[in-house]
Amino acid sequence: MTTRATRRSALPGFRITMAFTLLYIAVIVLVPLLTLPIKSFSQGAAFFWDTVRDPRVIASYRLTLVASFAAACVNGVFGFIVAWVLVRYDFPGRRIVDSIIDLPFALPTAVAGITLTSLYAPTGWFGQYLEPFGIQAVFSPLGITIALIFIGLPFVVRTLQPVIADLDVELEEVATSLGANRRQVIFRVILPYLYPAWLIGFGMAFARAIGEYGSVVFIAGNMPMKTEIASLLIITKLTQYDYAGAAAIAFVLLLLSFALLLVLNALQGWSARRLGY
| Per-position x/- string for 187-226, each x denoting binding to other proteins as judged by CB under 8 A, each - no binding | ---------xx--xx--x--xx-xxxxx---x--------
Minimal distance in Å, beta carbon 219 to other proteins? 12
**Structure-derived torsion over alpha carbons of residues 61, 76, 144, 52, reported in degrees to the nearest 10:** 10
Residue from 45, 169, 178, 179 touching other proteins (CB under 8 A): that is: 169
Distance in Å, CB of 53 to other proteins, minimum: 20
Give the integer Cα–Cα distance in Å for 148 and 206: 9
Per CB under 8 A, which of residues 8..47 are in contact with other proteins?
Answer: 9-14, 16-18, 20-21, 24-25, 28-33, 35-36, 39
Instruction: Give the list of residues 6+ apart from residue 129 with CB closer than 8 angstroms, or none.
Output: none
Taking residue 69's Cβ as centre, other Cβ atoms within 10 Å add up to 17
State how far the Cα of 266 lies from the Cα of 268, in Å rounded to an integer.
Answer: 5
Q: What angle do the packed helices 243-274 and 55-88 form, to 10 degrees?
A: 30
The residue within the footprint of other proteins, chosen from 173, 188, 191, 192 (CB under 8 A), is 173
Among 5, 45, 46, 178, binds other proteins (CB under 8 A): 5
Site for other proteins in 140-159 (CB under 8 A): 149-150, 153-159
Distance CA 209, CA 218 (A): 15
Secondary structure letter of residue 189 according to DSSP:
I
Beta strands in the chain (DSSP E): none
CB of 209 within 8 A of CB of 263?
no
d(CA 192, CA 178): 18
**Region binding other proteins by CB under 8 A among candidate stretches 45-53, 130-138, 219-227, 233-241:** 233-241
Does residue 228 interact with other proteins by CB under 8 A? Answer: no
Which DSSP state fits 89? -
Is 140 or 159 the residue whose CB approaches other proteins more closely? Answer: 159
CB of 146 to other proteins, least distance (A): 8
CB 227 to other proteins: min, Å: 16
Nearest approach in angstroms of CB 180 to other proteins is 11
Q: Which DSSP state fits 102?
A: T
Site for other proteins in 70-129 (CB under 8 A): 78, 81-82, 84-91, 94-95, 97-112, 114-116, 118-119, 125-126
Q: How many residues of this chain interact with other proteins, rule: CB under 8 A?
A: 120
